Every structure is written in C-alpha cells, then in structure tokens.
Amino acid sequence: MKVKSINEVFKKRKGKILGDYKEFAVMILICRENKEEYIILEKRALTLRKQPGDICLPGGKIENNETPLEGAIRESCEELNIERKDIEYVGEMDYLVTPYGSIMHVFVSYVNSYPNNFNKDEVHSLMKIPLKYFLNNEPQVYTMNIGPLNYDEFPFHLIEGGKDYKFSAGTLNQYFYSYKESNIWGFTARIIKSFIDYIKENDIE
C-alpha cells in the first residue's frame, strides 16, 4: 500500500467545520393573501418527544444522500401535506451552527396557498404571521449563559489548575417575538430576526 505524503493529502483539501454535527434544514415559507405576505409557522404536536408545543419553521433533520435544500423541501411537504410543485424556491439564508452540536440550513420559499390540511402527527396547529409584524416589531432580547455544567464528571486532575482553571463562559442572546397568544423564541426567532435584518439592510419591498 502506498503511503501518502502530507503534501498529497492536504494540497487540494477544502476546510470544513471541525467536529461531528447533526444537520437540519428549515424553510422560511411565505404565502400571499390579499396582497399581503405572511410567514407560516408550526406549533409542534404535543405528542412529540422533543420540543412538544414549540413554535417553529417547517423543516427537520437532513437524511442520508440528501442536500440541505432537498431536506427542507421534503420536510415541509411532509409536515404541511403539500406537494413539491406548491413550493416556489427563492434562495438560501446564512446557516446556523449551534452550541448544541447541530448545523441548521435555512431556505426561503413561497407557497401557492395557505396549507390547511397539515400533518397532525407532527403539527398541532399552523399560524400565519404578517411579514410586516416582524418588520415593525423588534424582538425582546435576553442573555443566556453557556458554560461547563458537568463539574462532578470532569477530569480536573488532568488539567493545569484543576478546579481553579478559568473556563471561558459564553453567552447566547435569546430572542422573543410575542404575537397575539403565541411566543416565538429560540433558534426560530433567531432565524426570523436574521431574515428581517437582511430585508432591511437591502431595502427589500
């Protein structure tokens, strides 16, 4: 077997994000009604194991041999009981690398009409929020600390300084939009805020 040199291995290699991440894809799905645009959001089914009742964008985990866009479209179709032809793809937003070991790809599309016949196994209810609401209302911002929590299990004896080691403690801004009786927060609110910021920065009408 030929032993490759460092030069051969790294010469044409492209860098990627270091670490093992689970990849997800979500869709900012917009519908038009009476000349007004709305963002479609889901309230997750209360029977789901993870994040039941949370408000989120359509989307989910990317499957093997699937591109992020294909995953976002497939999940949107499955959750909303719509067909691929109902989705008018527009473009891609920035992706999000979370502190919790996941990457979230974000896409923007229009849907032909408001999807009333959604999948009740995954979705408790749907809501449509006017785009102008997000354009006219800044979210509330709260700061959440991020740092090591499992001190009892950590091998302090292996590091210089032991339990006195000065770990970096990060912070994460949590955004909250309150619309009628609903609160949109977490990564959903972060993604929507980024989308709205981009619209404002580029003077999009």
Is residue 6 a part of any domain in this protein?
A: no
Q: How many domains does the chain have?
A: 1
Give residue 203's pLDDT: 76
Residue 5 in this model has a pLDDT that exceeds 90: no
Is residue 191 a part of any domain in this protein?
A: yes
Is residue 153 a part of any domain in this protein?
A: yes
**Residue whose token pair is 């976002």:** 72
Structure-model confidence comparison of residues 176 and 8, the more confident one: 176
> Model-level pTM?
0.87
Is residue 15 a part of any domain in this protein?
A: no
Residue 1 in this model has a pLDDT that exceeds 60: no
Residue 2 in this model has a pLDDT that exceeds 80: no
Residue 30 in this model has a pLDDT that exceeds 50: yes
Is residue 5 a part of any domain in this protein?
A: no
User: 4-18, 129-143, 179-193: which has the minimum mean pLDDT?
Assistant: 4-18
Residue 130 in this model has a pLDDT that exceeds 50: yes
The model's confidence at residue 48, banded by pLDDT at 50, 70 and 90, is: confident
Question: Mean pLDDT, to the nearest integer, of 127-141?
Answer: 96
CATH number of residue 28's parent domain: 3.90.79.10
Is residue 2 a part of any domain in this protein?
A: no
Query: Domain range spanning residue 197?
Result: 20-201
Is residue 13 a part of any domain in this protein?
A: no
Is residue 31 a part of any domain in this protein?
A: yes
β-pair partners for 27: 107
With the C-alpha atoms ordered 30, 31, 32, 36, is the resulting torsion angle positive or negative?
A: negative
Question: Mean pLDDT, to the nearest integer, of 24-34?
Answer: 96
78 neighbors 27 (Cβ within 8 angstroms): no
| Alpha carbons 180 and 193: distance in angstroms, whole number | 18
How far from the centroid of its chain's Cα atoms is residue 19's Cα? 19
- A 10 A CB-CB count for 85 gives 8
126 neighbors 41 (Cβ within 8 angstroms): yes
Residue type, 34: N
Give residue 154's pLDDT: 85
Query: pLDDT tens, 51-105?
Result: 888 899 999 999 988 999 999 999 999 999 999 999 999 999 999 998 888 999 9
Write down the mean pLDDT value for the chain.
91
Pairing of strands 170-179, 182-185: antiparallel
How far from the centroid of its chain's Cα atoms is residue 78's Cα? 17
Tokens of 152: 């009892």
